[in-house]
Structures are given as structure tokens and as C-alpha cells.
Amino acid sequence: MTQRRAPRSIRNRLMRAVLGVVALGWLGTVAMTVLFLDREMSEGFDEELELVAETTLVALETGADHIVPRLVAVTAKENDRLLRIIRPGVPEPQVPWVSPAEDGYFDSMGWRVLRRTGDHEVVEVAHNRNWRHREMGEAAVSLLVLVVPVVGLLIWGLRRALARALRPLDALAGAIAGRSPDDLSPVPETGLPRELHPLAHGLNSYLARIDDLRAIERRFVANAAHELRTPIAAIRARLELGGGAGAEAALPMLDDLTRRVERLLQLSRSEAGLGLGRGPADLVQVVRLLVEEARRPGAVIRFDDGDLERLSLPVDADALAILIRNLLENALEHGTGAVRVVIRPPADGAGPALMIENPTAQTGFVEEAFRKGPGSRGLGLGLSIVAALAAAMGARVEKTIRAGQARVVVTF
């Protein structure tokens, strides 16, 4: 199976692009510098040949008359820079080049030679070209060594500059990534660079449109559910008055439809945040009342209040009751055994919690809104209502199934 490559970051792309351009410019500069350095050093070497030749001729012409032809090295222990003194009619010292008949510069057999003729002698000064190339290479290496710290400083400065320039983009990405899925508040546009304003403005427009659509949806659901309550109640009253086997069979279906309408209203109000006060609410009392209300033939509910007489929470009592009622109904409808309800007091820095568990034949909780679980007759609204109310209360809901035991823990 092929693995997906991680997306490349803008910072790395900019770093590689800038360093590539700088490297190309630097290499071009180095190449031009080496050519310039080679030309300048060649001129300097030729000037040295000229100086040695003229100095030797002056010294010979002002010295003794007896001139001994010889071949000497310009510097001790080196044979790369040679000086030859020639006197007409006397055997010439052997050299590794072939001399022409006229004066001037010439190249022969890997040597750069300058020939000068005086009144009684001829002087030839020569440089080995390999020696010249070595000297030029050493100068170029020295230049490169001096440039390396500058390149390191450039990379360091470039990283800092990119980090500073991209800091607003990182802050915007972090702010968006840290949002909850239900947070549709606009992204702050103040303080953003000019290039990021279209992105933030477009995102805010998109969030505003989603918020408007959700508001329209909530209003439609609330209005539809509200309008259905009256005709459903009227139909139920008419069936109760009419009696008969058909009416008796239809009443449970109407009751089920009534519960669904009520859940639609609850979902609409919870998502809109309507009627959510700050409390306080007594968790023990609310759970005790709801457990007694939920008891019905064939339903076994075991309530453990944790030996608490009361447990006050800073939440709306009606919203708390709706949340717990949906969890109880979900457990009774989808479970296969006794429902266990436990209140846990605050401990070890954790807030109070409510746990509801029971055996279940399902393999997992359905967390997608409006999706029914296997074998469910409901619309899948219960857990959606629980999630919306818990988010409004600042509570945390954890749902797990292990070894056929379903558990929901609400931590306040």
C-alpha cells in the first residue's frame, strides 16, 4: 500500500527557493571572481617576471665584467621559478623550455618565460604554469573559506526572516485549528498582513453563510415541530374518544411520534442556546426524578447516588434534565439488560460525573447526527441533543463500548 506524502510547508518551499537563487548567484559570482582573480594574478606574475629580469640586467651591467652563465632558482628549494643568464659565445645552461630568438613573453612546454637582452648578456625569467595554477587555486580556496561563514550567516538570517514573516500565517492557522467544530465566530482580521486579508475575509464570509443556513434550519425544525404538536394532540384525542382496536394500535405510534417531535424541539433549542440558564441545578434530585419517571414494565434501572444528598451544578436544570433523559431513553431503547446510573462526586481535581451503562448488542455508538443505529426505531437525535447541551454547559461526554458493555460518562 502506498503511503501519502506529507504536504510540504510554505516555509520550506520559500527557503529552498531563496537559497537556490542565492546559490546560483553566489556560484556565478565565484566563477566571475575566479576568472578575474586568474587574470589579475597572471598580470602580477608577469610583473614579477619583468621586475626580476630588469633588476638582474641592471645588476649585471653595473657589476663585474666577467659574467658566468648560470641557471638559478628565484626562491630557495623551489624549481618552479627559474632565472637563466646567457652570455653570447658561451654554452647556455639547460632549461625545460625552448627559447625564441627575440625578446618578450612566450609560453613553452608548460612555462611562462620573459626574455630580455642587455648589452653583454641575455636574461630569461620563467614561471612554471602548474605553480601559477596552484597559487591561484590556493587563493580561490581561501576566498571560498572566507565566504562559508557568510553563507551560514545568510541561512540563519533567512530562517529568522521567514519565521518572522510567516508568524501571522502560523497564528491564523493555529487559531483556526484550535476552534471547535461548532465555533462559527468570525476570524479576527485586524493585524493580518495584506496578503492574508482575502483569506480571512473569505473564511469569515463562508462562516457567516454557514451560520445563516444553520439558523434557517433551526427555525424550520422548530416551526415544523411546533406546528406538528397541535394536530398530533388533536388526532390522539380523537382516537381516544373513538376507541376500538385500530385506535389502540395507533396510540403507541402517536406517542412515538410525539417523542420525536419533542426531540426535534429540544435539538433546535439546544443548538440555538435558548433557555440555557446558569442554574444552579441539583444533579442528585434531577437524576432521581428522571429515573423514577423512566421506570416502566420490563425496564430495570439501578441508581447509585454515591451517598450524596445533593450535588449542586452551575447549569440550567431544564437543560440538565433533557440531557439525562435522552441518555436514559437511549440506554433503555438500545440496551439489552439492566441500566446502571451512578453519580460520582468530585475527586482528584476532576469535576462531578454521571455514568450510565448497560449491556448492548451494538458494536459501537453512533456519533453522526441524524443517523440511526442498527435496529433502532429512532431518528438518531438523542446523542445529537446530548452533544449540543453538553457543549453549551461546558461538560465533557465520553462514550465507550467494551466487552458488550455500553458506557456514557458526562463530566461537569
Encode pLDDT of 173-207 as tens digits.
888 888 877 778 888 888 788 888 888 888 889 88
Q: What's the confidence (pLDDT) of residue 113?
A: 92
Q: Is residue 12 predicted with pLDDT exceeding 70?
A: yes
Range with the lowest mean pLDDT among 14-23, 236-245, 300-309? 236-245
* Cα distance between residue 71 and residue 104, in whole Å: 19
* Cα distance between residue 26 and residue 150, in whole Å: 11
Query: Could you tell me which residues come within 8 angstroms of residue 10 by beta carbon, excluding any fewer than 6 positions away?
Result: 166, 169
Domain layout of the chain by residue ranges: 10-163, 194-268, 276-411
Q: Quick one: DSSP state of residue 375?
A: T
Phi-psi category of residue 370: left, alpha or beta, with phi > 0 → left and psi -120 to 50 → alpha: left
Q: How confident is the model at residue 222 (pLDDT cuts 50, 70, 90)?
A: low
Q: What's the confidence (pLDDT) of residue 365?
A: 47
The residues facing 127 across adjacent strands are 81, 112
* Cα distance between residue 246 and residue 251, in whole Å: 9
Q: Could you tell me the three cell numbers for 142?
A: 581561501
Q: Is residue 252 predicted with pLDDT exceeding 80?
A: no
What residue type is assigned to position 86 of the chain?
I
Range with the lowest mean pLDDT among 88-92, 225-229, 332-336? 225-229
Encode pLDDT of 1-10 as tens digits.
455 565 667 7
Q: What's the confidence (pLDDT) of residue 105?
A: 92
Cis peptide before 280 (omega within 30 of 0): yes
Name the helix (H) or strand (E) containing 123: strand 122-128
Q: How confident is the model at residue 384 (pLDDT cuts 50, 70, 90)?
A: confident
Q: Could you tell me the three cell numbers for 113?
A: 618565460
Encode pLDDT of 107-132 as tens digits.
989 999 999 988 888 889 999 998 88
The stretch 123-152 carries a mean pLDDT of: 84
Q: Could you tell me the three cell numbers for 336?
A: 439489552
Average pLDDT of the chain to the nearest whole number: 79
> Cα dist. 119→65, 69, 72, 398 in Å?
11, 15, 21, 110
Name the helix (H) or strand (E) containing 140: helix 129-165
Q: Which CATH class is domain 194-268?
A: mainly alpha
Of the two residues 369 and 274, the one the predictor is more confident about is 274
Range picked from 51-65, 88-102, 117-131 for highest mean pLDDT: 117-131
Q: Could you tell me the three cell numbers for 178?
A: 484550535
Encode pLDDT of 269-320 as tens digits.
666 655 456 668 899 999 998 888 888 777 788 898 888 888 998 888 878 8
* Cα distance between residue 280 and residue 258, in whole Å: 29
* Cα distance between residue 341 and residue 290, in whole Å: 11
> Cα dist. 167→62, 163, 183, 189 in Å?
78, 6, 23, 14
The correct CATH number of 276-411 out of 3.90.550.10, 3.40.50.300, 3.40.50.80, 3.30.565.10 is 3.30.565.10
Cα distance from N-terminal residue to C-terminal residue, the chain: 44
Burial readout 359-398 (b: 16 or more C-beta within 10 A, e: otherwise): bbebeebbeeeeeebeeeebbbbbbbbbbbbbbbbebebe
